[in-house]
A and B are shown apart, each in its own frame.
With several copies, the nearest count.
Chain A
């Protein structure tokens, strides 16, 4: 979008004001904590807590994933900036119910450092903290280095699953194990056609030629595997999914995606890409999975992991086993994602 006509107040206050609005969107189910954190109003005593967070500007994630059977709280940074350690601490204190707190967030240098410092501050307050990094972007590193991958849209199914697991987890260990499994089983690949921008500067976050698609780009426009000519949905989708298939194939820690497997399929828009486009892409993806005999257990589709007016989309695939299916089947409710018990097409 070249003509940025954003409806805001002070561009330097957007993060604070949007978190206020988010609390209003929860209409009482969440409370505003400290400087810029969110927590569920009623977290049961003795619950192992789940904390998410990250930079703002990607709404409805990350802080919109606080909710019933989802995250207990979120530490919110400024636009595209990890929350400072003080905010991580205030959020940690708000969600801790004596059984410790699992930090579950996307792998970015800024987030890791700030959450780590926050965790050190929390340990000083005798709160047990464990961290599981979301590293789902297959375009950002080979399977052998998957712990250095960026965290992208896969966080939605991951937080859904781990939030469900947290309802019955008896210890931080147990929840950590579930989170690691959800992360291992979830992989994403994205493309972008045009950049978002930072409200405070109005400047696009990157440049891309009119006739090019950034294949494998991250959710802030981080470069992926390269640029390809602008093309059609039906040409692009197979290429994108191929990265996912090859990644499951090549990774020694997981089995290949093969006939009879069941998956959650999440088709995400980065903002400007319309639901119309997502649905057309979903249609092609469904054909490909059907050809391979892979069963879609449930579908998420929508602009849930955005970067302002960035145009682009991503696929996230979570391979399910019985344990993950059970977590999936739980209902959940939040500003970002809500589902009833069970799954579509049951």
Chain B
């Protein structure tokens, strides 16, 4: 049964599912980072998601923003690595922008992603096209912003689709940031590992909301 306006408890449940999905995808993320980076993205994200689960399962929420802030804080303090900082920033900043909301609807979705993405770009200096997670986040944010008038199901569906398309588009990009940078043209043909994580996260949120 599709959902509109998630409660904080539902938001927590959704983000626990996100954590499980990422843990399950560890081998996929490992391989994506092996192709372009140092191969530790899967293990790092798994470590982060275990910390997330511990934190979220032990907490009750009145604000949906706080769910995401805790999600981000757990990642940031447990993971380290580039992804600990960028994903931590994404969810902490994104969550802070909706920390006064007690429900999660299309507007919160849009705020979460756009604020989070902006902070990620501030923190790490990546721009769209640099072949990072930003290339999945940025189109997802645009889609979410255009869908604030629609139902959460439709907004989330459009957002996830845009994130997946962004992940796919990252395959054709030349890496200019981080570990994959010196690959140059050889980085073409592989999606960015962080973008793969973002797509999995958005798809899992969509599956939760639409089911």
Contact = CB atoms under 8 A, between A and B. Distances in A.
A115 B124 CA distance: 12
B80 A205 contact: no
Contacts of A286: none
A108 B38 CA distance: 12
Interface residues of A, number: 41
A228 interface: no
Nearest to A77: B80
B34 A85 contact: no
A85 B74 CA distance: 12
Given A113-B124, A205-B39, A78 B34 contact: no
Contact of B85 (A113, A216, A222, A224): A113
A93 B86 CA distance: 24
A201 B77 contact: no
Nearest to A78: B80
Given A82-B85, A85-B77, A200-B43, A223 B30 contact: no
A221 B37 CA distance: 8
A85 B89 CA distance: 11
Interface in A81-100: 81-87
Contacts of A108: 82, 178-179
B83 interface: yes
B137 interface: no
Interface in B16-50: 26-27, 30-31, 34, 37-40, 42-44, 47
A218 interface: yes
B3 interface: no
A79 interface: yes
A18 to B, nearest CB: 15
Contacts of B38: 80, 205, 220-222
B74 to A, nearest CB: 10
Given A201-B39, A201-B42, A223-B186, A114 B85 contact: yes
B124 A109 contact: yes
B102 interface: no
Nearest to A205: B39
B82 A110 contact: yes
Given A198-B39, A218-B182, A220-B38, A109 B177 contact: yes
Contact of B81 (A78, A116, A218): A78
Contacts of B148: none
B78 interface: yes
A83 B80 contact: yes
B156 to A, nearest CB: 29
Given A85-B76, A110-B178, 9 more contacts: A80-B39, A84-B80, A85-B77, A108-B82, A114-B85, A117-B76, A201-B27, A206-B39, A224-B182
9 contacts: A12-B47, A55-B80, A108-B82, A109-B124, A110-B178, A113-B82, A114-B80, A116-B123, A117-B123
Interface of B: 26-27, 30-31, 34, 37-40, 42-44, 47, 76-86, 88-89, 123-124, 177-184, 186
Interface of A: 12, 55, 77-87, 108-110, 113-114, 116-117, 139-141, 148, 150, 197-198, 200-201, 203-207, 216, 218, 220-224
